Amino acid sequence: MRKQIAAANWKMNLTYQEGEKLLDDIFDAGTSLAPHQHAIFAVPYPYLIMTRSEVAEEFNYHVAAQNCHHKKSGAYTGEVSVDMLQSIGVHYCIVGHSERREYNAETNAMLADKVNLCQENGITPIFCCGEPLDIREAGTQNEFVAAQLRESLFHLPAARIKGIIIAYEPIWAIGTGRTASTAQAQEMHHFLRSVIADHYGKDIADEIPILYGGSVKANNAEELFSSPDVDGGLVGGASLVAADFTAIISALK
């Protein structure tokens, strides 16, 4: 079975003390993971070392950065490089979240550079793709997300594309309370896998986890994750509540 992943994206929330308590509460719940199941905490930069320490003794729990810079090093005040992340033992990084694309004008070409740097440093990119509401309403969402994959990922050789986690996030369903129906999520995930299969072959496409990232909640996770091409979720607000995120972890296939 493909890896099944519950990834928490804390975004710009929680103090250090609140984050520490949240992790303690999640681990105190004693939710165990099967070998193919993983939980990842994408936390703000100041909490990376603390979170790495918290997950160190937990089976298949990991820490991720929420972003990295697209250059290896240099005069980029306030930015964080992939080398820096690697040096403190971070092995996952979100790349191309819709908020970064919108607020920081991140392009598909820039994200290709981030993917390259991550992989060169042994960091697994969690690559986000997805369409805004106007694209969905126009019915051109397939072409839109296919272009995101092609322009940011399809330069990779087959051996390296297998090291990517994809998160499909319909932008119109992030933080809005709206959620793509299970059928809509499965339809898009199946399409994404078919795009990968057309370029790399079905065997490789079937190995790549594709997470759903639009308002995943404790009360809809099991239904969403039951879809054959939905391999877990990239979770925002619900990951800030221990009981909700442990329920989401428990909903993994």
Q: Which two tokens stand for residue 122?
A: 């042994």
Question: Which residues 6+ apart lie within 8 Å of 74 measured at CB?
Answer: none
**Residue listed under structure tokens 């795009």:** 195
Indicate the SS3 state at residue 170. Answer: coil
- Which H helix or E strand runs over 112? helix 108-120
What is d(CA 80, CA 189) in angstroms, rounded to the nearest whole number?
31
Q: Which letter does DSSP use for residue 227 in this model?
A: S
Q: What is the CA radius of gyration of the chain?
A: 17
Q: Which two tokens stand for residue 238?
A: 């619900």
Residues forming the active site:
97, 169
Adjacent-strand bridge partners of 168: 129, 212
Q: Which two tokens stand for residue 15?
A: 């103090």
**Residue listed under structure tokens 């199941």:** 37
